[in-house]
Structure 1
Amino acid sequence: MLAAHLLTIETANSGVTNSGESNNAAQPQSSYLKRDVREDVFYFVMPDRFNNGDVSNDSGAPKGSISHGGLDTTSKWAFHGGDMAGIEQKLDYLKSMGITAIWMTPILRNKAVQKGGFAHHGYWIVDFTEIDPHFGSNADLKRLIDTAHKKDIKVFFDIITNHTADVIKYEECHNADGSFKSGLDQCTYRSLQEVKEQGTYRAFVPEKEQGEKFPEWLNDPRFYHNQGDTTFEGENSLYGDFNGLDDINTEDPEVVKGMIDIYTKLISEFKPDGFRIDTVRHVQLPFWQAFSPAIMAHAKAEGIKNFHVFGEVYDPNPEALSSFTTEGKLPAVLDFGFQSAVGGVFFEDKPVSTIETLIAQDHLYNDEDSNVNQLLTFLGNHDMGRPGFFLNKHLPNASNEEKLQRSMLAHAMMFFSRGVPVVYYGDEQGFTGDGNDVDAREDMMPSKVASYNDNTLLGTEQTTKNDNFNPEHPLYKSIAEYAAIRKQQPLLQYGVQENKFFDDKKQVFAFARVANDTMPNGGVVQQNDEALLVVFNVSAEQQTVTVSQQYESYLVVSGAAKISASDNGETQITLPAFSFGLFSSK
């Protein structure tokens, strides 16, 4: 409520130590099973590029297997040796940073090499029943999950329903051994109209790869679209093969049942805490309307009541994204809209009102079982690139110190804004990368890739040639601090986000996080006048802004901003260059 008298300023004791741990005993951390996903902090990791804990599995399955080979630690395309044991060894490193959930790229058994490429990323699955041998065994995965759970860290699987590895070939395009016929390097997409007139391609599996997929039904070509290669536009983004990957016919009721069976069995066997679903927009909504509720119900029956599912819908438009959480029945999606808006402001110096426009559309996600606070927010990833790359690309004349400040500030925005923050592995160590895809998949363990090792990292003199698990890195320490603050402030986890002011000329903006009725009972105050005020200065100069006084008193929770008041009902906030202020009305 509006206050008619002078603002009172106090300083809060946040209880944050340099290690990122909280010494505030007033708010105990719930166990991983009881913890709502909105209280989590995610770490997105590509196992192959993280840490090699067991060199004996570096070549995968025995020689002769479809899952053998591909190891070349000098090639950015190949396998590098990271595995489940390597992640297990670094759980304390993650926990000290405030990480409460790990999301791994796909770990099920892949076709290791195809078309000269390598499945280090895990997205070319042939066997949906066991872990890829490059990453260890099923027992290794279970041990990782068990150890993580003992440390109160959740584990999320990255899953795929849209396609399998490239095993199916077409008589019109391929020779009997699976190679392309002379003059061809792809199979031109056949539209639905063309299929109606002349049928799909005549599918076959080369003799050497017959029976390689598991479960067995996946070996039957009739469960695939068989319409040729997609151009990622129009209808072929739903029915075409991604670079030859076998596109599954997810409209077939038998396929829907089969996919539900695959992933409910994985839940029963491994007890993960949730799924990230790949290529969601390339599968029609009716599939998700059946798949998601079935998966959620099974997880709850297995005792995982806070099991969470979020989909990859590679689209920055909130209208498109929200259609999958409302009509599509997914609990959440990755917030590509957040990445686009926040990345544009912090990494490209676009107007801050870009964020205002984004937040104004948050209501689109609200329905009976989802809202915007369940979305996963991020700044970069394994496909598009890293914050450090975006900064080098769009602000090439900025100093290394400015780029570091912008990255830290963008991470603060991610932790204090609505949604669940996701830290992409290596960003906490200042990784930059040369671009997207494999150029954004550097090694955390000492790398032998020349194009990685010549990069200048943010906030350190080290390179990727070194071991990069440094808890003293300024980005690591900042993220640990933000995670501790977020843990202590339920409004940052559950509060509604309200736009306050956006000044494109000064590159200063503010928003509030206010209480609402979705917040859980037990230790959380739900008074109507409780709020957090968050202010950012994304400019290279100190800025002072004046806003109408809205609350009677403020606690300074974090940040370098100074807040003061006059007797005319206005609040004045001064922010140093590239800084933020976090204030509580309580």
Structure 2
Amino acid sequence: MKTFLPHILCCLLSTAAASFAQMPAGPVGAPATASAATARTPQPWLQSAVIYEIFPRSFSPAGNLNGVTAKLDQLQQLGVNVLWLMPLHPVGQLQKKGPQGSPYAVRDYYAIDPGYGTKDDLHRLIDEAHRRHMRVIIDIVANHTAFDSVMMSHPDFYKHDAQGKILSPYDWTDVAALDYTNPKLRRYMIDMLLYWAKDFNLDGFRCDAAGEVPTDFWESARRELDHLHPGILMLAEASKPELLRSAFDLDYSWPMMAALNDILQHGQSASSLRTTLAQEAAAFPKQSVHMRMFDDHDEQRALGRYGAAGSLAAAALIFTLDGVPMIYNGMEVSDTTESGAPALFENLKIWWQAGEMRPEFPRYYDFLIALRAHEAALRQGATVWIHNSDEAHVVSYIRRTNEDEMLVAVNLSGTPFRGTLEAAGAWDEVVAPATRQRPNTNEAAPPEASVPAPALPALSLNSFGVRIFHRSLHGAAQPAPSH
């Protein structure tokens, strides 16, 4: 849920906007403008995380937890390692929207929707995921409940207007807003989080509308969760800097997605992506981690917004920039099944056969996930933006560690690029395989081919084209970024 998104983006992106109007090449977010605060120390494994968001109702023909468990091998082969399950709780029927109701209108935080199965089914799903070295997090909707929630027996848990009527947040007429000024509500919600973490050995929570719940509540909850389960993952559906100081490990990169929408849908200059990411870095605590995405259950599907070629270009960005990439519910096979409202309230299924119609999608996602897993520079390297000769259409950057560099050039337009970029020397081009290769194998060698590249700085890109290059820095001096 993100009716409040435009206000958040406006506030965030106005921060230091003038400072980045003319931005030189160099790392995103110079220390002189970055927030003085430091984010919660990221868990080391998070650098290698690839999150997969699952809407259980639509993910399989069965539409339940066992349908997810049956596809764990498929998800493991894809190379994802964090499974985010959208809300599993019973859906409210009072004032519900559509025939199915919203999964974000929760009737009972301690129960599982009977249509999804039983608690034993969830235990089995989590155990089987752990056996495959995948973590599982579940969606928690802490800002509001359904109007027929079991918590309505405590009317003091809710916000009321002057006439005593329980309020809905925004225009979300199917849900009732919780009142976090009540310490008894806070205790109830923390105990509920502890229940799921302890009894189900969960690896964490994705917290819906996290920015609408007081930050000090999340900080209190995090302290108790850390005591119970050190290393638990907390993902905030928010773009609110203070949440990353101690409560959450990562949040939504809404500014990046908004920039991609402006570029790929409305023709804004590709250079605005770089500006947006620099503003984000300046506004947030140092070492903040963001979930990079361009599709989720709140959006029109990316294929409809960006087209097939634009969607693949966007995928290249989220897997080669810093942060944690997220795949939503079949996007790796180019599924176009809508799930944003009002589709969220229907019983619609992923059309998995879309991958046979557009085989370039599963092939390219396999390639990107394997490349990120193989190249430390893509997971933990510094990001250095480099100039090119058409920055209205093309973004170019280097991810750099002390050992290696990965150079990435992405054309975010339908105009072919023939020009130059600010890089020279010997590079090897990393080429996606012509046929699908599953990344999750025990092979020592990467599943992509590296070939000597034509001499840079000359470069050509097809419309929405992507080219990726690698070079080792062993024995070579690192070039300084230009200004």
* TM-score in same-fold range (> 0.5): yes
Whether the 8 Å contact between 2:355 and 2:361 is mirrored in structure 1 is no
Q: Report what 1:175 is aligned to.
A: none
Shift of 1:166: 0.8
Whether the 8 Å contact between 1:500 and 1:511 is mirrored in structure 2 is yes
* CA gap 1:475/1:487 in 2 versus in 1, 3 angstroms: same
What are the superposed Cα offsets for residues 493-537 of structure 1, whole Å, 9 maximum, x if unpaired? 22222222265566112011123xxxxxxxxxxx2x632211112
* Corresponding residue to 1:311 among 236, 241, 250: 236
Aligned AA for 1:554? W
Whether the 8 Å contact between 1:559 and 1:579 is mirrored in structure 2 is no
| 1:243 and 2:252 matched | no
Instruction: Find the residue that maps to 1:478 and give its secondary structure.
Output: helix
CA distance in 1, matches of 2:344, 2:271: 29
**1:261-410 alignment, distance < 5 Å:** 261-300=191-230, 305=231, 307-313=232-238, 321-326=240-245, 329-364=247-282, 367=285, 371-372=287-288, 374-391=289-306, 403-410=307-314
* CA gap 1:120/1:44 in 2 versus in 1, 3 angstroms: farther
* Corresponding residue to 1:554 among 427, 430, 438: 427
| 1:91 and 2:72 matched | yes
**1:489-508 alignment, distance < 5 Å:** 489-501=375-387, 507-508=393-394
CA distance in 2, matches of 1:338, 1:297: 34
* CA gap 1:435/1:246 in 2 versus in 1, 3 angstroms: closer
CA distance in 1, matches of 2:293, 2:94: 30
Shift of 1:435: 8.4
* Corresponding residue to 1:427 among 324, 331, 341: 331
Instruction: Find the residue that maps to 1:128 and give its secondary structure.
Output: coil
CA distance in 1, matches of 2:264, 2:452: 21
Shift of 1:470: 5.2
CA distance in 2, matches of 1:435, 1:107: 16
CA distance in 2, matches of 1:332, 1:364: 16
Whether the 8 Å contact between 2:100 and 2:347 is mirrored in structure 1 is no
* Corresponding residue to 2:411 among 525, 537, 555: 537
Identity, % of aligned positions? 23
* Corresponding residue to 1:38 among 27, 33, 47: 47
What are the superposed Cα offsets for residues 152-174 of structure 1, whole Å, 9 maximum, x if unpaired? 2221101011111113xxxxxxx
| 1:227 and 2:161 matched | yes
Whether the 8 Å contact between 2:100 and 2:345 is mirrored in structure 1 is no
| 1:150 and 2:36 matched | no
If asked which structure has higher relative contact order (CA below 8 Å, sep 6+), I would say: 2
Whether the 8 Å contact between 1:562 and 1:581 is mirrored in structure 2 is no
CA distance in 1, matches of 2:162, 2:370: 50
Q: Report what 1:256 is aligned to.
A: 186
Whether the 8 Å contact between 2:428 and 2:453 is mirrored in structure 1 is no
Shift of 1:387: 0.7
Instruction: Find the residue that maps to 1:385 and give its secondary structure.
Output: coil
CA distance in 1, matches of 2:112, 2:278: 42
* CA gap 1:247/1:264 in 2 versus in 1, 3 angstroms: same
Instruction: Find the residue that maps to 1:557 and give its secondary structure.
Output: strand
CA distance in 1, matches of 2:221, 2:181: 12
Shift of 1:117: 3.6
Whether the 8 Å contact between 1:346 and 1:410 is mirrored in structure 2 is no
CA distance in 2, matches of 1:102, 1:470: 24
* Corresponding residue to 1:213 among 134, 146, 150: 150
In structure 2, the gaps of 5 or more residues are 1-42, 434-450, 473-483
Shift of 1:289: 2.7
* CA gap 1:407/1:440 in 2 versus in 1, 3 angstroms: farther
CA distance in 1, matches of 2:55, 2:290: 21
Instruction: Find the residue that maps to 2:103 and give its secondary structure.
Output: coil
Instruction: Find the residue that maps to 2:137 and give its secondary structure.
Output: strand
CA distance in 1, matches of 2:380, 2:106: 37
Whether the 8 Å contact between 1:388 and 1:433 is mirrored in structure 2 is no
Instruction: Find the residue that maps to 1:125 and give its secondary structure.
Output: coil
| 1:573 and 2:477 matched | no
Aligned AA for 2:155? P
CA distance in 1, matches of 2:195, 2:293: 30
Q: Report what 2:141 is aligned to.
A: 160
Whether the 8 Å contact between 1:309 and 1:332 is mirrored in structure 2 is yes
Shift of 1:558: 3.4
Whether the 8 Å contact between 2:95 and 2:173 is mirrored in structure 1 is no
Scaled by the length of structure 2, the TM-score of the pair is: 0.76
**1:7-18 alignment, distance < 5 Å:** none
Instruction: Find the residue that maps to 2:269 and give its secondary structure.
Output: coil
Instruction: Find the residue that maps to 2:190 and give its secondary structure.
Output: helix
Shift of 1:476: 1.6
Whether the 8 Å contact between 1:353 and 1:504 is mirrored in structure 2 is no
Whether the 8 Å contact between 2:83 and 2:137 is mirrored in structure 1 is yes
Q: Report what 1:481 is aligned to.
A: 367
CA distance in 2, matches of 1:444, 1:371: 39
Instruction: Find the residue that maps to 2:110 and give its secondary structure.
Output: strand
Whether the 8 Å contact between 1:428 and 1:479 is mirrored in structure 2 is yes
Shift of 1:291: 2.4
Instruction: Find the residue that maps to 1:141 and give its secondary structure.
Output: helix
Instruction: Find the residue that maps to 2:79 and give its secondary structure.
Output: coil
CA distance in 2, matches of 1:274, 1:366: 22
Shift of 1:324: 2.5
CA distance in 2, matches of 1:116, 1:481: 39
Aligned AA for 1:535? A
Find runs of 4+ consecutive structure 1 residues off by over 6 angstroms.
440-444
Shift of 1:434: 6.5
Shift of 1:45: 1.6
Instruction: Find the residue that maps to 1:127 and give its secondary structure.
Output: coil
Q: Report what 1:198 is aligned to.
A: none
CA distance in 1, matches of 2:295, 2:337: 11
* CA gap 1:435/1:468 in 2 versus in 1, 3 angstroms: closer
In structure 1, the gaps of 5 or more residues are 1-33, 54-81, 168-211, 230-235, 314-319, 392-402, 447-463, 516-526
Whether the 8 Å contact between 1:382 and 1:438 is mirrored in structure 2 is no
Whether the 8 Å contact between 1:562 and 1:575 is mirrored in structure 2 is no
Shift of 1:293: 3.3
